[in-house]
Chains A and B, each alone.
Chain A
Amino acid sequence: MGSSNRKKKEKKKDFQKAKLKVGKAKAKAANFTDTSFKAKSIVVNQQTLVTDATDLLEQFKQNLSLAINAKPDNQRRDALSYIYNQLSAKPPNNPVGTAGLLTKLLPLLSDSASSVRANLLKLFRVLPPSEVSPHVEKILMYIRGGMTHLSNDVRNDTLNVMEWLLDVAGDETVSCPGGWLKTLNSFSSMLGWNPSVTSAISNQGWTATSASKTTLGTRKGPESHARQIQLLAKFIQIGFQRETPATYDPRAYWDNIYRLPATANPFAYLNLFGTPRDEDSEMYPNRMSRMRVFDAKWRSAIVTGMDGAKKEGGLVGRAAASLDRALKGEVKVKANNSEPEQ
């Protein structure tokens, strides 16, 4: 009874007119907005909607920034496809240059939307290979980051980028600083064949734990596993490839002295200005050094993993066989090498 009375009163209150009183400030309206504050900066959430920018350069730049910064993934994807179109036009139109493009777009490797990643790979494929090769070290950093990403999709797409890179600049990939050992490390970690993890753990207790092959939360089908092994095989194959001996050039000596070098960083192996490198991030410029390091650090682990994979049969087994061939090919080559010495 009492409460209903109260409710009635409360209901009435909404429609009552506020009494004005002498000497009192007027009551503020319900929709009153306090504007007394001061702001140091204003953020405009909307971006310009004008699309018909007359200047091609401006348009390209806008799309490039959209590809990086836009929130919705459709917008990013469309921007990437615009850039792709510009690059694949018959005289390719690239006002910012491959280097600029790569610096801006590489963080998209681990983008959350798969369509963006697919478009990015498409875009990379049309980049001129000769301009990509000087930036291999940088690209590899992002690839390594992507290969150990939490999400399986990102890992797989990164493998595609890796494949592209091996196609475009295989030699540089295996010989750049950190390109050989660190990438192998990432591969083996991806496959679960990493000896350092097992050694780090096994000394903590006496139950022998094998490195688990399943990753957190995501299903890993045989296809992706097989693909990883395949790519590793390709990587190793390129690493163990025999260099074609340079043909004798009588002017090479004088060119070396008096001409500007043709390659981007000819004295990279000296590491004159960088931070001192450890064993992993060292560069292994020729086949012999790569093989030596591989034998010392990775062969046993990878062979063990490979044997396990072979036994699985199917897709994985076949991929493992190709890896075996890659390793064997190297053995054959090694045998060939050793023969003339004897």
Chain B
Amino acid sequence: MVKRKVAALEKVDADLVNLQYKIRRDPKSYAQEFYDQWLAYDAQRQIFIASPTTASTDDVTKFHDLVDLVAHVADLYPDLTAAYPDHLKELLNQHHAILSPELREKVVGSLTLLRRKDVIDSTSLLTTLFPILISTPSKTLRTLLYGKIISDLRESNSKSINHRLNRTIQTVLHNLVTSDRTSTKGMWATRITRELWRRQIWTDAKPCDVMKEACLSDNEKVVVGGVRFFLGGDKEREEMEDEGSDEEFDIKRAKHQSVINKKTKKRQKAYEKAIDKVKKQERKKSAPHPLNFSALHLIHDPQGFAELLFQKHLQNTKCKFSLDNKLLVLQLVTRLVGLHKLTIISLYSWFVRYLTPKQPQVTSFLASLAQATHDLVPPDAIEPLMVKIANEFVSEASASEVAAAGINAIREVAIRQPLCMTETLLQDLVLYQRSKDKGVVMAAKGLQSLYREVYPELLQKKYRGKEATMGLRSGEVKLRKFGEEEAGGIDGIELLEEWKLEQKKRKVAEAMASGVEKKEGEEDDEDGFNSDEWEVGSSESDESEDGWINMSDDEDDEPATKRPRTEAEAAAYVDGQEKTAEAIRVSTLAQTSILTPADLLKLQELRREAQVDRVLNPSRVSKRKKELILRHIDEGVTADDIELPAMLGKKSTKEERVALAKDGKPGRDEHKSTQAIKRSKKEAEGKSTTNKEKARKKNFLMTVGKARAKNKKSLIDRGKTLKMHIARSKQGGRRRNRDGG
């Protein structure tokens, strides 16, 4: 092949890159050359600015190259290039709409490069890029700028949080959203905030405030952006975190590979890098978990916000949002109401209009209603809604799905505010457990079991069940009045106490066994345990020889108020007594002793154990309680929760079953064995074959000699080989070079 002769000038032309390389190696000696190019850049810039629209392509490429060169070496000549960042900013600000895409990209890239070289600071870069992001009509430029803005914010927050920069940008975003509420420009504020929230770069209240303002905007898109953030932003953040920790690295494998593969510098480096990564991951795991509050909790003045949101987008008849978006806003409002226990009375009457089976997406409305209910909502406000749902949805004539959804919605509301139900309505609804449809039956039974626990008086006697009846008689099941709060203590403190007691007993037993008698006071000091508590336990342990305490003995000391009549009642009575006794003891432990950090750690551990236990042994806890345990308070009610019982007992179609079976299996377009599919997949990925496969493919004639020799081996040789084989397998199964095997 004939080499194309490159003209001398062409070589020189291409040499801006070469010049850049030389300048960077020796900036002092090449200052003159750089200054020449700086002047050339200046001349080209003026040519360009004189007529940016009509500049020839030749001029533009020349300018492009010179901009590139200057950007790369600007940090070496700060005096000469002092005006350069301003030039670029001016160029971008004034001509971004007419610049050719390549030049535009180069200018943006140069600015970010200057930022990375610390020639300009983040604030000035971002305040340059941001106005262009929201004003440019070009999609590619917007994508580019968005990426650059996000990456710069990430970068400047990577080592330590740059509070000042964050504050500046958050203020800019806030102003963007609040300055013109009708424009779509707020979209960018929501996008940037959401992204940074997802990456946990912004975790404080200010971004939430920006989003709050976005929710109150007049533009539908901006509102939806803000609302979606509150509904899904935290979940997104969690998922992102999980993804980050997902990519686990198999260190054992890497070690093994470094042993069997040829040792090269590249492999060595890769290995070290992997080790570093693993170490970093481990450090991350052991680091204290960052205390990130959910966005819904960080909202300032949730009551005012929810009210405004409701009035502006839902109650307002002039608001023309689409149904989907209205539903999103409704979800947010109800979520806030449920989470913060807000009171918006007009919200419930607003619901009435939408609670008909013909309303599109009515299950979402029902779910929102359930979400908006909490125990501080006046029962009078919800009662008419319950009646309406019952009338509209639950009748013999309505479809079974509709009835099931209706009953289930009523149940979801009643879980949160049991007082909303009237006796007749409940008794009527419970009777639906005789329906033919399984979904309706399940929903009705669910409602019944709920009321057995919270308010059995409303049920007819035959539907109350054994436990509820007994509870009623013993006074254990008591209706909570409106506004009554459950007296709470420290969660799991009784577990801690139990554990402590056990520890103590074990120690005593050990001491007894070893025959060393210790004074109790000493032990007290050791444990830092409350002396009063201990005194009680120890006096008992003194009485019983082996040091075990029978816990149920306690109640015998107390004067019984009323003796149980039947066996069953007796059991219930004992249970109740035990519980009250425990409650009393809990308060004393928390009040009379100071919990040390070690205690708190143990408490956490015990709580976790208990939760696992509860999940594993469902028989011990009622269904409703289990549900409440599993569902975190931050999660809202969705339409699926309402629709679920209607799906019960429905058979899936064949297509669905086939799709389910095929899910996650390799596709096969031709008939082939699984092995063959695996092999071809491996081959396509460029992976090598195993030794076994290689052996299988080996030419027969190459192996036949060895096989024949094996047959001809003498007895001694054979013995030797066998011995070597055993030795090898003991050493780790690897054949060395020339080990005689």
User: In the bound complex, how far is the Cα of B46 from the Cα of A218, in angstroms?
Assistant: 27
What distance in Å separates the Cβ of A208 from its nearest Cβ neighbour in chain B?
A: 11
Residues of B close to A154: CB separation below 8 A? 9
Residues of A close to B59: CB separation below 8 A? 107
Q: Does A205 contact B (CB under 8 A)?
A: yes
Contact B47 A209 (CB under 8 A): no
Contact B80 A145 (CB under 8 A): no
Provided the pairs A2-B702, A209-B28 are in contact, do residues A138 and B50 lie with their beta carbons within 8 angstroms? Answer: yes
Contact B32 A211 (CB under 8 A): yes
Contact B28 A205 (CB under 8 A): yes
Contact A197 B35 (CB under 8 A): yes
Contact B36 A142 (CB under 8 A): no
Q: Does A148 contact B (CB under 8 A)?
A: yes
Provided the pairs A216-B15, A216-B22, A217-B15 are in contact, do residues A142 and B9 lie with their beta carbons within 8 angstroms? Answer: no
Contact A107 B56 (CB under 8 A): yes
Contact B28 A216 (CB under 8 A): no
Residues of B close to A197: CB separation below 8 A? 31-32, 35, 80
Q: Does A62 contact B (CB under 8 A)?
A: no
Contact A142 B47 (CB under 8 A): yes
What distance in Å separates the Cβ of B89 from its nearest Cβ neighbour in chain A?
A: 14
Residues of B close to A289: CB separation below 8 A? none
User: In the bound complex, how far is the Cα of B56 from the Cα of A234, in angstroms?
Assistant: 31
Identify which of residues 49-73 in chain B touch chain A, using a CB-to-CB cut-off of 8 Å: 49-50, 54, 56, 58-59, 62
Q: Does B707 contact A (CB under 8 A)?
A: no
Contact B39 A185 (CB under 8 A): yes
Identify which of residues 182-229 in chain A touch chain B, using a CB-to-CB cut-off of 8 Å: 182, 185-186, 189-190, 192, 194, 196-197, 199-201, 203-205, 209, 211-212, 215-218
Interface string of B148-178 (1 = CB under 8 A from A): 0000000000000000000000000000000
Q: Does A77 contact B (CB under 8 A)?
A: no
What distance in Å separates the Cβ of A149 from its nearest Cβ neighbour in chain B?
A: 6
User: In the bound complex, how far is the Cα of B670 from the Cα of A319, in angstroms?
Assistant: 86
Contact B28 A201 (CB under 8 A): yes
Contact B32 A112 (CB under 8 A): no
User: In the bound complex, how far is the Cα of B9 from the Cα of A154, in angstroms?
Assistant: 9
What distance in Å separates the Cβ of A274 from its nearest Cβ neighbour in chain B?
A: 9
Residues of A close to B554: CB separation below 8 A? none
Contact A150 B29 (CB under 8 A): no
Q: Does B7 contact A (CB under 8 A)?
A: yes
Residues of B close to A201: CB separation below 8 A? 28, 31
Provided the pairs A1-B701, A2-B702, A150-B13 are in contact, do residues A145 and B33 lie with their beta carbons within 8 angstroms? Answer: no
Q: Does A110 contact B (CB under 8 A)?
A: yes
Residues of A close to B42: CB separation below 8 A? 144, 182
What distance in Å separates the Cβ of B95 from its nearest Cβ neighbour in chain A?
A: 12
How many A-B residue contacts, CB cutoff 8 Å?
105
User: In the bound complex, how far is the Cα of B15 from the Cα of A110, in angstroms?
Assistant: 15
Residues of A close to B44: CB separation below 8 A? 145
User: In the bound complex, how far is the Cα of B40 from the Cα of A190, in angstroms?
Assistant: 11
Q: Does B79 contact A (CB under 8 A)?
A: yes
Contact B39 A186 (CB under 8 A): yes
User: In the bound complex, how far is the Cα of B31 from the Cα of A212, in angstroms?
Assistant: 9
Residues of A close to B49: CB separation below 8 A? 275
Residues of B close to A118: CB separation below 8 A? none
Nearest-neighbor residue (CB-CB) of B30 within chain A? A216
Q: Does A153 contact B (CB under 8 A)?
A: yes
What distance in Å separates the Cβ of A76 from its nearest Cβ neighbour in chain B?
A: 12
User: In the bound complex, how far is the Cα of B727 from the Cα of A191, in angstroms?
Assistant: 83
What distance in Å separates the Cβ of B702 from its nearest Cβ neighbour in chain A?
A: 7
Contact A150 B19 (CB under 8 A): yes
User: In the bound complex, how far is the Cα of B38 from the Cα of A194, in angstroms?
Assistant: 13
> Pick the contact of B32 from A142, A178, A189 — CB < 8 Å?
A189
Nearest-neighbor residue (CB-CB) of A204 within chain B? B28
Among A150, A205, A217, A281, find the residue whose CB has the most chain B CB atoms closer than 10 A: A150
Q: Does A141 contact B (CB under 8 A)?
A: yes
Q: Does B699 contact A (CB under 8 A)?
A: yes
Residues of B close to A142: CB separation below 8 A? 43, 47
Contact B43 A217 (CB under 8 A): no
Q: Does B12 contact A (CB under 8 A)?
A: yes
What distance in Å separates the Cβ of B381 from its nearest Cβ neighbour in chain A?
A: 61
Q: Does A101 contact B (CB under 8 A)?
A: no
User: In the bound complex, how far is the Cα of B654 from the Cα of A261, in angstroms?
Assistant: 91
Interface string of A1-14 (1 = CB under 8 A from B): 11000000000000
Provided the pairs A200-B31, A201-B28, A209-B28 are in contact, do residues A217 and B12 lie with their beta carbons within 8 angstroms? Answer: yes
Contact A215 B36 (CB under 8 A): yes
Provided the pairs A107-B59, A142-B43, A148-B43 are in contact, do residues A216 and B31 lie with their beta carbons within 8 angstroms? Answer: no
Q: Does A151 contact B (CB under 8 A)?
A: yes
User: In the bound complex, how far is the Cα of B10 from the Cα of A331, in angstroms?
Assistant: 45
Provided the pairs A145-B47, A197-B35, A201-B28 are in contact, do residues A150 and B16 lie with their beta carbons within 8 angstroms? Answer: yes
User: In the bound complex, how far is the Cα of B33 from the Cα of A151, in angstroms?
Assistant: 11
Identify which of residues 115-174 in chain A touch chain B, using a CB-to-CB cut-off of 8 Å: 138, 141-142, 144-145, 147-151, 153-154
Identify which of residues 99-117 in chain A touch chain B, using a CB-to-CB cut-off of 8 Å: 103-104, 107, 110, 112-114
Q: Does A68 contact B (CB under 8 A)?
A: yes
Q: Does B77 contact A (CB under 8 A)?
A: yes
Q: Does B37 contact A (CB under 8 A)?
A: yes
User: In the bound complex, how far is the Cα of B10 from the Cα of A281, in angstroms?
Assistant: 32
Contact A196 B35 (CB under 8 A): yes
User: In the bound complex, how far is the Cα of B9 from the Cα of A321, in angstroms?
Assistant: 33
Contact A141 B12 (CB under 8 A): no
Residues of B close to A194: CB separation below 8 A? 32, 35
Nearest-neighbor residue (CB-CB) of A209 within chain B? B28
Provided the pairs A112-B9, A148-B40 are in contact, do residues A2 and B54 lie with their beta carbons within 8 angstroms? Answer: no
User: In the bound complex, how far is the Cα of B47 from the Cα of A292, in angstroms?
Assistant: 28
Among B40, B62, B701, find the residue whose CB has the most chain A CB atoms closer than 10 A: B40
Residues of B close to A107: CB separation below 8 A? 56, 58-59
Among B7, B13, B46, B56, find the residue whose CB has the most chain A CB atoms closer than 10 A: B46
Contact A112 B7 (CB under 8 A): yes
| Interface set of B (CB-CB < 8 Å, partner A) | 7, 9-10, 12-13, 15-16, 19, 22, 28-33, 35-37, 39-40, 42-44, 46-47, 49-50, 54, 56, 58-59, 62, 77, 79-80, 699, 701-702
Given A194-B32, A216-B30, 6 additional A-B pairs, CB 8 A: A147-B39, A148-B40, A211-B31, A215-B36, A216-B19, A218-B12
5 nearest interchain CB pairs? Answer: A145-B43, A2-B699, A148-B36, A144-B43, A148-B39
Query: What are 8 of the A-B contact pairs (CB < 8 Å)?
Result: A1-B699, A142-B43, A142-B47, A145-B43, A145-B62, A147-B39, A151-B13, A197-B80
| Interface set of A (CB-CB < 8 Å, partner B) | 1-2, 68, 103-104, 107, 110, 112-114, 138, 141-142, 144-145, 147-151, 153-154, 178, 182, 185-186, 189-190, 192, 194, 196-197, 199-201, 203-205, 209, 211-212, 215-218, 275, 281
